[in-house]
Amino acid sequence: MSYNFKESLMKKERFTSGHRMCAGCGAPVVVKAVLRALKDEDHAVIACATGCLEVSSFIYPYTSWNDSFVHTAFECAGATLSGVEAAYKAMKKTGKLPQDKDTKFIAFGGDGGTYDIGIQSLSGAMERGHDMVYVCYDNGAYMNTGIQRSSATPKFADTTTSPAGKEILGKQQSRKDLTMVMANHHLPYVAQTAITPNFKDIYEKAEKAIYTKGACFLNVLAPCPRGWVYDSSELAKINKMAIETCYWPLYEVVDGKYTITYKPNNKLPVEEFLKLQKRFAHLFKPGNEWMIEEIQKEVDTRWEELLRLESM
């Protein structure tokens, strides 16, 4: 069935309002968009790594999750959900669960819980091939503890552990390309996506990830107004510029085959993305032009690599 924006928005909400995520945060938008891809008749068990999403959506005795939900610790959403999925298989096999009802398994983790402290647990769960989707909402730093750098933080970004100081100007290392790392796990489905105005890209990728048998991975850009320092009304614009500059390319890898799902007609310079965020303010000071050039070079190299992979 082809994507229908209006119909998808009419589906019952699985993640309710009343949670305590910040205005202008990308994460709850990502969660809602991913969960819309679930068929109405399917039950889901959602696992969550410790992070902003978890501590803002399930504060005892309230929960925003209409499906079953489990949180254990920071680094083990992958392993926790693999246990749930194993239980499902065993209990279905022995008739302890109804045969005519499907349950889907979705994990959410921020870049801290996914790229860094949770990468072992994630890699293990994916390699074992549990029938689940792991969704990383990547906001590019440890936002829950107050904006510390992560391996997903872009080069030169100002964070509380990589401050733009007098001598050292922000994070000195490039960001880890986790989507590629996961693609090289040779999973049936890996995709990188973001929020677009009609939610089509994320919906279709989430649907494929949820309904492809086996372990699937989605990496979704999730801008953070506090860490990236932008006005909460700018969320859509930041997402758009991340995509139009190819800072955050939209693509999928199906059984090893790369497909770029959006190619800008006019690839914008990366500063169009950077200038919207105060975490990059120091890049725009006279004499620091080289920093933007370096980021541009990195974006170009990675984009060209992606084009090459797609052509193979």
Partner 1 sequence: MKERLSGNEAIATAMKQINPDVVAAFPITPSTEIPQYFSTFVNNGTVDTEFVPVESEHSAMSACIGAQAAGARAMTATSSNGLSLMWEMVYIASSLRLPMVMTVVNRAVSGPLNIHNDHSDSMGCRDSGWIQLYSETNQEAYDNMLMAHRIAEHPDVKLPVMVCMDGFITSHAIENIELENDEFVKDFVGIYKPEQYLLNHENPIAVGPLDLQSYLFEHKRQQAKAMENAKKVILEVSKDFENRTGRKYEFFEQFMMEDAEVAIVVLNSTAGTTKAVVKNLRSQGLKVGMIKLRVFRPFPANELAQALSHLKAVAILDKSEGLNAAGGPVFTEVTSAMQCNGISNVKTIGYIYGIGGRDVKTSDIESVYTNLLKIKDTDQIGNIYNYLGVRD
State the nearest-atom distance from the C-beta of 86 to partner 1, in Å.
Answer: 4
Cβ–Cβ < 8 Å for 249, 303: yes
- When asked if residue 66 is in the footprint of partner 1 (CB under 8 A), the reply is yes
Q: Which of 150, 175, 309, 149 is nearest to 242 (CA)?
A: 175
State the nearest-atom distance from the C-beta of 185 to partner 1, in Å.
Answer: 12
State the nearest-atom distance from the C-beta of 172 to partner 1, in Å.
Answer: 30
- When asked if residue 16 is in the footprint of partner 1 (CB under 8 A), the reply is no
Angle at the Cα of 206 from the Cα atoms of 3 and 128, rounded to 5 degrees: 150
Cβ–Cβ < 8 Å for 289, 263: no
Please provide residue 134's backbone torsions phi and psi, each rounded to the nearest 5 degrees.
-105, 125
Q: Mask 67-86, x = binds partner 1 (CB under 8 A)?
A: xxxxxxx-xx-xxxxxxxxx
Residue 22 CA, chain-centre distance (Å), reads 17
Q: Mask 89-118, x = binds partner 1 (CB under 8 A)?
A: xxx-xx-xxx--x-x---------------
- When asked if residue 124 is in the footprint of partner 1 (CB under 8 A), the reply is yes
- When asked if residue 87 is in the footprint of partner 1 (CB under 8 A), the reply is yes
Cβ proximity to partner 1: between 126 and 243 the closer is 126
Binding residue for partner 1 (CB under 8 A) from 11, 16, 22, 128?
Answer: 128
The rounded distance, in Å, linking the Cα atoms of 75 and 187 is: 21
State the nearest-atom distance from the C-beta of 113 to partner 1, in Å.
Answer: 12
- When asked if residue 9 is in the footprint of partner 1 (CB under 8 A), the reply is no
Number of amino acids touching partner 1 (CB under 8 A): 49
Cβ proximity to partner 1: between 100 and 167 the closer is 100
Q: Is 88 helix (H, G, I), strand (E, B) or coil?
A: helix
The rounded distance, in Å, linking the Cα atoms of 110 and 304 is: 27
Tokens 């994630």 identify what position?
A: 122
Q: Using only the alpha carbons of the chain, give its radius of gyration.
A: 19
Q: Footprint of partner 1 on residues 226-245 (CB under 8 A)?
A: none
Cβ–Cβ < 8 Å for 141, 148: yes
Cβ proximity to partner 1: between 12 and 43 the closer is 43
The rounded distance, in Å, linking the Cα atoms of 62 and 69 is: 12
Binding site residues, partner 1, CB under 8 A = 43, 45, 47, 54-55, 58-61, 63, 65-73, 75-76, 78-91, 93-94, 96-98, 101, 103, 120-121, 123-125, 127-128
